[in-house]
Amino acid sequence: MPFERTEAALDVAGVGHSFGPRRALDDCSFVVPAGAVTALVGRNGAGKSTLLRAAAGLLRPDRGRVRVFGEVAGDASLPAIGYVGQHAPLYPMLTVAQTLALGGRLNPRWDAAYARRLADDAALPSGARVGTLAPGRRARLALVMALAKRPGLLLLDEPLAPLDPVARTEVTGALMAEVAGRGTTVVLSSHVVADIDGVCDRVVVLADGRVRLAADVDQALATHLVAVGAGSEVGALDGTAIVEARAVGRDATALVRSAEPVGSLAWHRPTLEELLLGYLRAPGPEPERKVTLA
Amino acid sequence: MNWLALRLLRPYLIVAAALSALSTAFVLAGARVIRQQAEAHGIVVAGYVPDRTGLCERGVSCLPAGTATSLAQAVVLVATFVPLLIGLILGVPLFAREREESTDAFVLTQSVPRMRWLFTKLLWALAAGAVCTAAVAVAFRLAAARYTLIVGEFGYSLLQVAHKHSIVFMVMQTVFITALAGIAGLAGGRTLRTLVMSVVAWPVALIVAQLGGLLLAGVTAVLVSWSDSLSMMVGTLDEDEVAAFAAVPLGMGTVVALLVGRGIVRRGTR
């Protein structure tokens, strides 16, 4: 195998980055094991794209380090990654055939036959200029370019956003086939929970530049419960275990870190959507207040 | 990477080459017309240049009034502004357009070292700019410079600040502006902003180059006056050599721009 499977595919350790006064990432740490399909979930502006750009080596974070299969993200890790940015940026003046040929020129491990097959499956016309393709088609071509590079780690920044429902299914199918066939690690960002449900086996939730949750999906679902009941009863729960609580009239719903139900509340296992929404809605930690002595 | 760099540069190369060819043709044809008119009026240009001796006074055109003088001024304008224009045509879109369209994210995540992307594109643009400007500069220097030396109207003396009758100086102007605009586009990622910044930087760069050239020429003159061996080696400084000294700061500025570009790519383009 071209990539060392005993290494973590992606190791993000203490990463922080600011754009001027705005803090985009704050002490982010998580590990993506090789072969996993990981969803990076967060609201707009949560830092997903910044994190993926750091993993692709497009951005050097102010603090911390990002390693891809043990290599610091940068030139050394380029052959190991396939990256599809938001809006699938490709050269609009090139034709589809020229774009595929360019992939061969820029990547020593380029699989031309595989690229051709994926392009045919996506019904991409060879002679069409990329700039004339519909956004969905362009996204498919960008994905072909990333897959035919034969990477060990695919970094996809909201890859399904411009696709219609049929194309979403097809792209998801192609991704799953790649994972099943080659064990490629996939990290895909999304703020649409439906896009990742049933696709990913790990999840990283980002909010305000911080990692709120990084876990196996099954394990995360097994260690959380949703409590529904009177507001006073929900309020009596252990505060440190409550991820997020919402009141609707006199009733309340809470997402709780707990494997077993307690008390007389109605409990159920959260769906992935309930779990992710709970963490996305959860209030962040209070910012540190600096007190200066006069 | 060469294929991609040339493919992306292609439209700008075509425009720069066309501008260079048209300018060269204009300079050559203009010089021919000026020579014919000067000869028809019995003016022996060789008698005036290079130091405007004889009847030719400073500030007064020694060429026949009308077409010859107008053409000589137009030729100077071409020689002054074509190096800038070629530099802008090749330099402004070099990285700014890729940054604007985010296609840099595509090319920088292929299996090619990022410095190769930076330097391949820059070197092709610099080489193409140098060749395009060199064609105009050689034509100007060999065929037209002698006439423009004795044209003297208002505005011409201002142009002398921006223009030197030196192939090296003209070529280095293009090289510097191409590198400056390219790196400004890499840093800022906006084409219009890069264009405005490069145009504003041009006169500043020329003033710095002139001052730097004068300083270098002065230092050389002092060294030559002190040392017989250096005097033998360098000889006396004429206008061309002083202009060549003014090209040195432009060359240094180009190197600084390349180093800044390397730093930007190392840190990440955004």
pLDDT at A7 over 50: yes
Residues contacting residue A171 through CB under 8 Å, at least 6 positions apart? A139, A140, A143, A159, A160, A163
Instruction: Please name the residue of chain A whose CA is at the shortest distance from the CA of residue B104.
Output: A89
* Residues 6+ positions from B189 with CB-CB distance below 8 Å: B95, B96, B99, B100, B269, B270
State the DSSP string of B116-158: HHHHHHHHHHHHHHHHHHHHHHHHIIIIIHHHHTT---TTHHH
Residues of A in contact with B113 (CB under 8 A): 75, 78
User: Range with the lowest mean pLDDT among A150-154, B16-20, B56-60?
Assistant: B56-60
Model confidence at B40: pLDDT above 60: yes
The predicted pLDDT at position B203 comes to: 87
Chain A partners within 8 Å of B268 (Cβ): 53, 57-60
According to the model, what pLDDT value does residue B49 have?
A: 54
Note the pLDDT of residue B54: 46
Q: How does the average pLDDT of chain A come out, rounded?
A: 85
Query: CA-to-CA distance for A152 and A77, rounded, in angstroms?
Result: 10
Is the separation of the CB atoms in A231 and A247 below 8 Å? Answer: yes
Distance from CA of B32 to the nearest CA of A (A): 42
Tally Cβ neighbours within 10 Å of residue A232: 9
Average pLDDT over residues B79-98: 94
Mean predicted lDDT score pLDDT of chain B: 84
SS3 state at B21: helix
Write the burial class of residue B226 (CB in 10 Å: 0-12 exposed, 13-18 middle, 19+ buried). exposed
Q: What is the pLDDT of residue B53?
A: 47
Length of chain B counted residue by residue: 270
Whole-number pLDDT of residue B175 = 96
Asked if A91's CB is within 8 angstroms of B105's CB, the reply is no
Token pair 């102007």: residue:
B173
Look at the block and give the residue holding tokens 């001027």. A20
Predicted TM-score (pTM) of this structure: 0.80
Please state, in angstroms and rounded to a whole number, the distance separating the CA atoms of residues B12 and B206: 24
Q: What is the bridge-based pairing of β-strands A266-268 and A242-248?
A: unpaired
Average pLDDT over residues A111-138: 90
Residue A130 has what DSSP assignment? G
d(CA B132, CA B78) in angstroms, rounded, equals 13
> Which pLDDT score is estimated for A246?
82
Q: Which residue of B has its CA nearest to A56?
A: B109
Residue B268 reports pLDDT greater than 90: no
The Cα–Cα gap between B88 and B148 comes to 25
Length of chain A: 294
Q: What percent of chain A has pLDDT over 90?
A: 36
Question: CA A193, B102, B193: angle at the middle one, nearest 5?
Answer: 130
Percent of chain B's residues with pLDDT above 70? 80
Report percent pLDDT > 70 for chain A: 93
pLDDT band at B11; cut points 50, 70, 90 = very high
Domain residues of chain A, as ranges?
8-218, 223-281
> Which residues from chain A sit within 8 angstroms of residue B109, using beta carbons?
56-58, 78, 81-83
Which DSSP state fits A129? B
DSSP labels for A160-187?
Answer: TTT--HHHHHHHHHHHHHHHHHH--EEE
Question: Is residue A267 over pLDDT 80?
Answer: yes
Task: Tell me if A107 and B102 make a contact (CB, 8 A cut-off).
Answer: no
Least confident of A25-34, A138-147, A172-181, B137-146: A172-181
pLDDT tens-digit series, residues B153-196: 556 666 666 777 788 889 999 999 999 999 999 998 899 999 99
Predicted pLDDT of residue B45: 66
B-chain residue closest to A19, CA distance: B270
Residue B48 pLDDT greater than 80, yes or no: no
pLDDT band at A289 (very low <50, low <70, confident <90, very high): very low
Can you give the pLDDT at residue B260? 94
Q: Is the peptide bond between B50 and the residue preceding it cis, with omega within 30 degrees of 0?
A: yes
Homologous superfamily in CATH for domain A8-218: P-loop containing nucleotide triphosphate hydrolases (3.40.50.300)
Residues B98-116, mean pLDDT to the nearest whole number:
91
pLDDT tier, A4 (very low <50, low <70, confident <90, very high otherwise): low
CA distance A46 to A66: 18
Residue A231: predicted pLDDT: 74
Smallest Cα distance from B184 to chain A, Å: 18
| Binary contact (B105, A79; C-beta < 8 A) | no
The top-scoring range by mean pLDDT among A150-154, A206-210, A240-244, B16-20 is B16-20
Burial (Cβ within 10 Å: 0-12, 13-18, ≥19) of residue A234: buried
DSSP character at residue A91: -
* C-alpha pair distances (Å), B78 with each of B25, B41, B139, B168: 11, 25, 11, 16
DSSP-assigned letters across all residues of A184-252: -EEEEEES-HHHHTTT-SEEEEEETTEEEEEEEHHHHHHTEEEEEEEHHHHHTS-GGGEEEEEEETTEE
- Using alpha carbons only, give the angle A90, A53, B106 rounded to the nearest 5 degrees: 20
Amino acid at A146: A
Residues in contact with B196: Cβ distance below 8 Å, sequence separation at least 6, in sequence order: none
In which band, very low, low, confident or very high, does the pLDDT at B148 lie, cut at 50, 70 and 90?
A: confident
pLDDT at residue A1 tops 50:
no
A-chain residues within 8 Å CB-CB of B107? 106
Does A278 lie at the interface with B, CB-CB under 8 angstroms? no
Contact indicator for A248, A214 with CB cutoff of 8 Å: no
- The helices-and-strands tally (H runs, E runs) of chain A is 9, 14
Q: Is the pLDDT of residue A148 over 70?
A: yes
pLDDT attached to residue B231: 55
Which residue would you say has higher pLDDT here, A83 or B158?
A83
Q: Convert the pLDDT of each residue in A207-260 to its tens digit.
A: 888 998 999 998 988 888 888 888 777 777 766 678 888 887 778 888 888 767
Provide mean pLDDT across the span A88-113: 93
| Confidence label for A294 from pLDDT (cuts 50, 70 and 90) | very low
> Tokens in use for A142?
């960008």
User: By mean pLDDT, which of A35-49, A51-65, A148-162, B222-236 is the weakest?
Assistant: B222-236
Higher pLDDT, A248 or A17: A17
> What's the pLDDT tens digit per position in A167-209?
788 778 877 887 788 888 999 998 778 778 888 889 999 988 8
Ramachandran region of residue B82, left (φ > 0), alpha (ψ -120 to 50) or beta? alpha
Q: Return the pLDDT at B182.
A: 96
Neighbours of B168 (CB within 10 A): 21
Asked if residues A210 and A28 have their Cβ atoms less than 8 Å apart, the reply is: yes
